[in-house]
Amino acid sequence: MLAQLSTIDLIVLVLMLLIMPTAGILVALRKKTAEQYFLAGRNIRWWTVAGSVFGTNISSFHLIGMLGIGYSIGFVQAHYEIVFPAILLLCFVFLASYRRLEVFTLSQYLEIRYNEASRLIYTILLVLIILVQLVGAFYVGSITLQWLLGGGSFEISYLTGLLLIGLVTCSYTIWGGMESIVITDTIQTIMMLMAGFAVAYFTLSQPEIGGFFGLLDLDAAQPRAAQKMHLYLPSNHPNLPWTGIFTGLMLQHCFNFSTNQFLVQRVLAADSDEDARKGIIASGFLKLTIPFFSISAGVAAYYLFGARFGASAVDFNSDNTFLKLVETVIPQGVGLTGMILAGLTAATFSSVDSMMNAATTLLTLDVYKKYITPDANDRQIVRFGRLTIVAMVVASIGLALLTYTPDRTNNFMLKVSSQLSYFTPGIMVAFFFGILWRRASAPAAVWAMLLGPVFGLVSEQIYLNFLGTEPAIAALFGLKLNFMHRVFLTFVLSSATLIILSLTRYPNTNEEGFERLRVDVDAGQVARAVGLFLAVQAVFVGLVFVGGFSPRSVALWAGLATFGLFLRGRNKKSTLVWAGVLTGLSVSVLYFFA
């Protein structure tokens, strides 16, 4: 690809890519205390929180994977970006407790609520989760660089691509810590959005598509079973069943935004509670744009390739769609290709640096400072953190070589999501019950976290060998247990474990820990808010299924009614209003594309 780039493309590509390490290294030159290194001195503003959260959450395998799944499956992938329940949970349930305790890690939060064992288990599980994601990010990043540099004198191998990613991210992450990362993440977010919008604009502008509404008309002209611009697939769909989306996937969102160290760390580093809330809500708006420039471009590519290259073209590897579109629709010789490739490369680095920093924070503070050198000073803590980053990079590169081949497989993003979901339900249970239920005990929470992966594996085997063999159940949920259904079952079983053990064998003896977490919210408030939201949605769902209205015709009114819920009472804080706007828009999308 590099050999095919014009001079202006090369200039744009190089200049944009130099911005990231340059900005990160300039920040890294400042001397760092432990708080400055791991939490940027707790003084980042809301726009930096938003950019960093978005940059951390979206990587190259999201840009490539989202568009590829739009191509192969359809707009239903948008559910991965409709995250308002998780954002509301973080902003109005967990955030105040996290920040009031002034913890560095969420594992410290668990120790305050429960005990040291829960802190250590969380650290181990999160490091494993981060390592799996790091390996995936290195893998997709390397094959992206191979494609970028292929066909010329700069062509590289899979291993060289892995080493290059490690070298670039280490250049500013090791020395700059969180402060370098949040600055480079914000720059990378701008670059990713520019790249994504450019690909979407030129794809949707093709005469075979006729813009976004042309895409809707083109899709509507297909038989219903072949249409792609819908958000709901049958409950037995192997990848994205609607029943799994409103259960397991929603829980996964809550994990990512409320209990996942490498995302919540940005919230902990914010200058104030208000900056933290504004930043996380703004990141929700940014994520809501992804379906309209990435996933919809994937759907458009399906129709474009079929019309332009023939029916056989639609059967190629879906994860190549992004790169194929760049070659097909982007005007050459004006610097656009260089800009897009810079955005794609930035996306490669945006999640890698954040995950490395989060894993380093956990290992340094929860293992080194807690058990190895309790009296370590700031200089020793920062030095250990830097060495840990090197170790994580070496481990990620080694595992990427051992576990993946350079030949990308279809829908790689869904495969990674499935792998990670074994660990998350037990963690969510410990956090949710820890803040909402006084009687949740430390031993019960530890068992819930430890048994979560076991429940997931057992659920799969029971379904595969027994339940899935029943024709009625298989017709309803498929021959195999979808990972979203597994997450929900695991969450239920882990919750039951915590509740039963807390009420029987292990009653809670740490009332003080529960009181320290409480701010202005309790389980009753949360239940009433959820109940009111569901009651409003029940009205509009009833209009669709009983009243005969089309989902599209009620989309606007459902969104406005949902927004109205946030204007009740006297509390009209701007963050609450913007949270209402985000929730109302998200609800409208859920109805409009039904």
Q: For 288-306, what is the HEC assignment?
A: HHHHHHHHHHHHHHHHHHH
- In the beta sheet, which residues pair with residue 241? 233
**3-state secondary structure (DSSP) of residue 578:** helix
> What pLDDT shows up at residue 159?
87
Helix runs in 205-295, H state only: 211-220, 242-244, 250-254, 261-268, 273-290
Tokens standing for 279?
């930043």
How large is the angle between the packed helices 116-149 and 60-72, nearest 10 degrees? 70
Rounded to an integer, what distance in angstroms lies between the CA atom of residue 105 and that of residue 431? 13
> What pLDDT shows up at residue 312?
57
| Shared-domain flag, residues 456 and 569 | no
Helix runs in 73-115, H state only: 84-89, 95-101, 106-113
| Shared-domain flag, residues 322 and 434 | no
Domain CATH number, residue 216: 1.20.1730.10
Rounded to an integer, what distance in angstroms lies between the CA atom of residue 249 and that of residue 80? 8
48 near 183, Cβ under 8 Å?
yes
338 near 9, Cβ under 8 Å?
yes
> What pLDDT shows up at residue 76?
93
| Shared-domain flag, residues 481 and 382 | no
| Shared-domain flag, residues 62 and 185 | yes
> What pLDDT shows up at residue 103?
82
- Cα–Cα distances (Å) from 445 to 486, 496, 500, 507, in that order, read 20, 11, 11, 11
Residue 474 lies in a domain: yes
Identity at 324, one-letter amino acid code: K
| Shared-domain flag, residues 150 and 103 | yes
Residues 6+ apart with CB under 8 A from 157: 146
Looking at the structure of the chain, the number of domains it has is 3
| Shared-domain flag, residues 212 and 70 | yes
Residues 6+ apart with CB under 8 A from 472: none
| Shared-domain flag, residues 172 and 289 | yes
> What pLDDT shows up at residue 570?
53
160 near 11, Cβ under 8 Å?
no
The pLDDT tens digits of the residues spanning 384-428 come to: 888 888 888 898 889 888 877 665 555 555 666 677 788 899 999
Residue 33 lies in a domain: no
> What pLDDT shows up at residue 29?
62
Residues of the chain with pLDDT under 50: none
Residues 6+ apart with CB under 8 A from 76: 230, 231, 232, 233, 240, 245
Rounded to an integer, what distance in angstroms lies between the CA atom of residue 139 and that of residue 501? 42
| Shared-domain flag, residues 371 and 428 | no
How large is the angle between the packed helices 273-290 and 158-204, nearest 10 degrees? 70
| Shared-domain flag, residues 457 and 396 | no
Rounded to an integer, what distance in angstroms lies between the CA atom of residue 363 and that of residue 501? 30
Rounded to an integer, what distance in angstroms lies between the CA atom of residue 280 and that of residue 582? 11
> What pLDDT shows up at residue 22?
73
Whether pTM exceeds 0.75? yes
| Shared-domain flag, residues 200 and 70 | yes
Residue 147 lies in a domain: yes
Its domain, for residue 203, covers: 1-27+44-419
> What pLDDT shows up at residue 313?
56
Residue 379 lies in a domain: yes
Tokens standing for 504?
């029987």
Rounded to an integer, what distance in angstroms lies between the CA atom of residue 351 and that of residue 282? 18
Structure-token match 């890698």, residue found: 352
| Shared-domain flag, residues 411 and 428 | no
| Shared-domain flag, residues 210 and 278 | yes
> What pLDDT shows up at residue 526?
80
405 near 162, Cβ under 8 Å?
no
User: How many residues in the chain?
Assistant: 594
